[in-house]
Chain A
Amino acid sequence: MAKQRTGRVMAQVAMVMNLDKCIGCHTCSVTCKQAWTNRSGVEYVWFNNVETRPGQGYPRRYEDQERWQGGWRRTATGRLKPRAGGRLKKLATIFANPKMPSIQDYYEPWTYDYENLITAPLGDDVPVARPRSLISGEPMDISWSANWDDDLAGGEELGSFDPLVQKLGERVKFSFEETFMFYLPRICEHCLNPSCVASCPSGAMYKRAEDGIVLVDQDRCRGWRMCVTGCPYKKVYFNHKTGKAEKCTLCYPRIEVGMPTVCSETCVGRLRYLGVVLYDADRVSSAAAVKDEKDLYPAQLDLLLDPDDPEVQEAARRDGIPDRWIESAQRSPVYLLAKRFKVALPLHPEYRTMPMVWYIPPLSPVVDTLTSTGNDGEDAGNLFGAIDTLRIPVEYLAELFTAGDPEPVTRTLRRLAAMRSYMRRINLGDDPDESIAEAVGMSGNDIERMYRLLALAKYDERYVIPTAYGVDEADKGVIDEIGCSLDFDGGPGMGGMGGAAPFGEASGRQQPATVENFHALRDRQTSDERSGPPRRFNLLNWDGNGRPPGLFPQRSDTEGEERQ
């Protein structure tokens, strides 16, 4: 095949998740929520959630695109159109989105009536804190949540509602011997061909040219809600208080300064990888429009450019990608796992969005079955045999990752199995068995490199993130905070802050999080001097001793000595 001329090279910060290591602890979800969605209006929103598969997911049955109409559809002429309808249909249905999930499809968020615990009158019964809806404020019964079916996969009652299980039909029986389960953490896929962006009538959603992060411009979003429908992964959410769309930002303020996302940083299993991949932006739409859904995964892989290829490097420089990004792409764990070792697969390529969060499918269902039947779960022969026989997990994984094509899943699982048995020999002091590596089309060196990345998973090899470019290099990290830091519009210095906003909640100007104020914030947070107004005292941190400043209102005559 003749080598194609490289089109416009773009860089993408992408992620890989190694599902074998996910223990379903939800730390990623919780830390993400604490960082990004612990505000009113997004109580029901989890930019990161962990699903038990088989299962319905969050929102319930989001993968049923017959119903939700997310992603792209290939037209008879071979072009792509948002599945929910093109431009005219979008505008015609703008007054009420016909395909928008309701709050019940996610879950109705709640809090507890804690006040009752201390205000209940003396009585024979212990007072309880009843759940109250955060939407209506009324007492409610909790019947569903973002991970209500946690660990219940495979149970007939819930598992049979999984759209993928229904697709596989009769073959999945959920007999006790055949049950399998794994966790699937999900964030926004930051797709190369994002259908949410395509669905936004206002043009408020965009893919950032420098790093491919898909964002919502909060100042331009008008709340038409088409993006919620457009995203087949249902990872764009509607903030019902501000009336704007919100989504996972790939923690861009952290990524810009070279730090991993919150979900990656806090991952207990250390299963997330972040790195830059270079891709050919000119070929994205044709790759996403290949006829056979099963060709979408190879087409997507084909978009990724080899950062070691001098021709690619030259094209990247031509398109304004700085050298340090190219160097970073050369060390990218994502490129290594997705393209070179081909063990990371995209989630639902059949949506034609070219997702950029890749998954290494779990080998554990296979190993578990082997060991539970008394076989050696780390013997290459056994494992290869089991992968071929255990059809159901493989077919299910194929529905998730390769539009139903079992071949790439089998290949991946065989490679993971080969790694297991190859490394076991070394750990037991035997000679490396090159034939195991060859059986899966790899070399011993490759396997050891993959082992280092997947099993040892060193911090600086998992996260290879170059700092942002695109701002004036000279300006980067240099902040001059002229004037009072509280003197922003609506801030305390302007007599605002905390008061009701004029046109509904959270109207007025927002302070964007950027590289620039990241450094300013860090300086302020780590300096010994107090920079803000006198803070209120946090009772939870009080050890009961003394009289800490801020606990009581200042007395004017003693102010001088108490302040210190």
Chain B
Amino acid sequence: MTPSPLDYLLWGALPYVVNAVLVGGTVWRHRYDRFGWTTRSSQLYESRLLRIASPMFHFGLLVVIIGHVIGLLIPESWTHAVGVGDELYHITALSLGVVAGVTTLGGIALLIWRRRTTGPVFSATTVNDKTMYLVLTAAIVSGLTVTLLSAYTGFSGGEEVDYRQTVSVWFRSIWILQPDVAAMSAATLGFKIHVLIGLGLFSLFPFSRLVHAFSAPIGYLFRPYVVYRSRDRRTAGTTRPIRRGWG
């Protein structure tokens, strides 16, 4: 199957555009809007539901991310080399993926329900938040659907579509600047949709509250408890106008 022009556009060009938006947007946001860079927590308004839903969503998501990293970055030949057969790999990936995916989905469903039904939380929700929630949920739902679908076809004796021969190959090829468009266009429609939603989520990332993920405070583990800082010498400069842009 030869890739169509649309395939080249979606799997050859789009990833680089999204990458540029993600990196450039994040740098821009960091320079321009450090004050707006926050989780914008709504815990002050409502704590009871949040304390269940938020950890559920976030921890589920962490496992999902780890699963994606393993599935996309580690080539099939490597896992074969260490003696992990296809069946073992898929059962592990599938069971872990389904559990994590369902947890994440349950978490975000609860979070959205809380956001909609708790008055103060809903009134603090911006259009930006709503868009982000929509894309994020779509990404989770589509991801979970393709996982379950491929499991179903696998168990019902059909030809199981191995994303490790299509999506993963394409994903790795992006980073060596030789996108394997053919590999990606060979993937099933479900995977294609999931990838597109994922790309949408990435391009939304720098411009939404999702940026808080980039400031995961790992440094906290390695710093002394009490922080001393000298009076900022640069504040003298900020009375002069700061221009928008890169200057």
Q: Which A residues have a C-beta under 8 Å from some C-beta of B?
A: 80, 82, 87-88, 90-91, 93-98, 100, 102-103, 135-138, 193-194, 197-198, 200-203, 205-211, 217-225, 238, 240-244, 468, 470-472, 475, 479, 481-484, 487-489, 491, 493-494, 501-504, 506-512, 514, 516-517, 520
Q: State A300–B192 Cα separation when bound (angstroms).
A: 65
Cross-chain contact A206 with B241 (CB below 8 angstroms): no
Cross-chain contact A103 with B45 (CB below 8 angstroms): yes
Cross-chain contact A520 with B34 (CB below 8 angstroms): no
Given A198-B225, A203-B219, A511-B238, 18 new contacts (CB under 8 A): A90-B220, A98-B51, A102-B47, A194-B226, A207-B226, A209-B228, A222-B37, A223-B39, A240-B42, A482-B240, A487-B241, A489-B242, A502-B36, A504-B126, A507-B35, A508-B32, A514-B236, A514-B238
Q: State A202–B37 Cα separation when bound (angstroms).
A: 12
Cross-chain contact B219 with A240 (CB below 8 angstroms): no
* Interchain CB contact (< 8 A) of B39 among A98, A224, A468: A224
Closest A residue, CB atoms, query B62 = A95
Chain B residue contacts of A224, Cβ below 8 A = 39, 41, 217
Q: Is B128 among interface residues, defined by CB-CB distance under 8 A?
A: yes
Chain B residue contacts of A508, Cβ below 8 A = 32-33, 35-36
Closest A residue, CB atoms, query B48 = A102
Cross-chain contact B32 with A208 (CB below 8 angstroms): no
* Interchain CB contact (< 8 A) of A501 among B36, B221, B230: B36
Q: What are 16 sample pairs from A and B whose C-beta atoms fall under 8 A apart?
A: A96-B51, A96-B55, A100-B43, A102-B47, A103-B45, A203-B219, A203-B223, A223-B39, A238-B43, A470-B230, A479-B239, A484-B241, A494-B244, A504-B209, A508-B35, A509-B35
Cross-chain contact B231 with A242 (CB below 8 angstroms): no
Q: State A98–B37 Cα separation when bound (angstroms).
A: 23
- Interface of chain B residues 160 through 195 with chain A (CB within 8 A): none
Cross-chain contact A203 with B32 (CB below 8 angstroms): no
Q: State A509–B32 Cα separation when bound (angstroms).
A: 7
Q: Is B54 among interface residues, defined by CB-CB distance under 8 A?
A: yes
**A95, A197, A218, A242 — which one has the most chain B CB atoms within 10 A of its CB?**
A95
Q: State A243–B212 Cα separation when bound (angstroms).
A: 11
Q: State A514–B207 Cα separation when bound (angstroms).
A: 30
* Interchain CB contact (< 8 A) of A208 among B123, B231, B238: B231
Q: Is the interface of A mostly helix, strand, loop or mixed?
A: loop
- Interface of chain B residues 36 through 73 with chain A (CB within 8 A): 36-47, 50-51, 54-55, 57-59
Tell whether A489 pairs with B47 under 8 Å between CB atoms, given A206-B229, A207-B227, A210-B230. no
- Interface of chain B residues 120 through 172 with chain A (CB within 8 A): 120, 123-124, 126, 128
Q: State A90–B244 Cα separation when bound (angstroms).
A: 36
* Interchain CB contact (< 8 A) of A210 among B36, B45, B231: B231
Q: Which B residues have a C-beta under 8 Å from some C-beta of A?
A: 29, 32-47, 50-51, 54-55, 57-59, 119-120, 123-124, 126, 128, 207-209, 212, 215, 217, 219-221, 223, 225-231, 233, 235-236, 238-244
CB distance from B146 to the nearest CB of A (A): 26
**B41, B209, B230 — which one has the most chain A CB atoms within 10 A of its CB?**
B41
Cross-chain contact A91 with B217 (CB below 8 angstroms): yes
CB distance from B14 to the nearest CB of A (A): 24
When A and B form their complex, what is the total count of cross-chain residue pairs whose Cβ atoms lie within 8 Å?
192
Chain B residue contacts of A135, Cβ below 8 A = 45, 120
Q: Is the interface of B mostly helix, strand, loop or mixed?
A: loop
Chain A residue contacts of B128, Cβ below 8 A = 503-504
Closest A residue, CB atoms, query B51 = A96
Cross-chain contact B44 with A503 (CB below 8 angstroms): no
Cross-chain contact B220 with A91 (CB below 8 angstroms): yes
Cross-chain contact A489 with B241 (CB below 8 angstroms): yes
Chain B residue contacts of A520, Cβ below 8 A = 239
Cross-chain contact B238 with A512 (CB below 8 angstroms): yes
Cross-chain contact A489 with B217 (CB below 8 angstroms): no
Per CB-CB distance, the 4 closest pairs between chain A and chain B, nearest first, are: A507-B36, A201-B217, A198-B225, A243-B40
Cross-chain contact A100 with B35 (CB below 8 angstroms): no
Cross-chain contact B227 with A197 (CB below 8 angstroms): yes
Tell whether A242 pairs with B38 under 8 Å between CB atoms, given A95-B54, A135-B120, A207-B228. yes
Chain A residue contacts of B240, Cβ below 8 A = 481-483
CB distance from B34 to the nearest CB of A (A): 4
Chain B residue contacts of A483, Cβ below 8 A = 240-241
CB distance from B120 to the nearest CB of A (A): 5
Cross-chain contact A223 with B226 (CB below 8 angstroms): no
Closest A residue, CB atoms, query B208 = A503
Chain B residue contacts of A97, Cβ below 8 A = 43
Chain A residue contacts of B35, Cβ below 8 A = 218-219, 242, 244, 506-510
* Interchain CB contact (< 8 A) of B44 among A136, A207, A217, A240: A240
Chain B residue contacts of A470, Cβ below 8 A = 230-231, 233
Chain B residue contacts of A489, Cβ below 8 A = 32, 241-244
Cross-chain contact A206 with B228 (CB below 8 angstroms): yes
Q: State A515–B217 Cα separation when bound (angstroms).
A: 32
Cross-chain contact B120 with A136 (CB below 8 angstroms): yes
Cross-chain contact B236 with A240 (CB below 8 angstroms): no
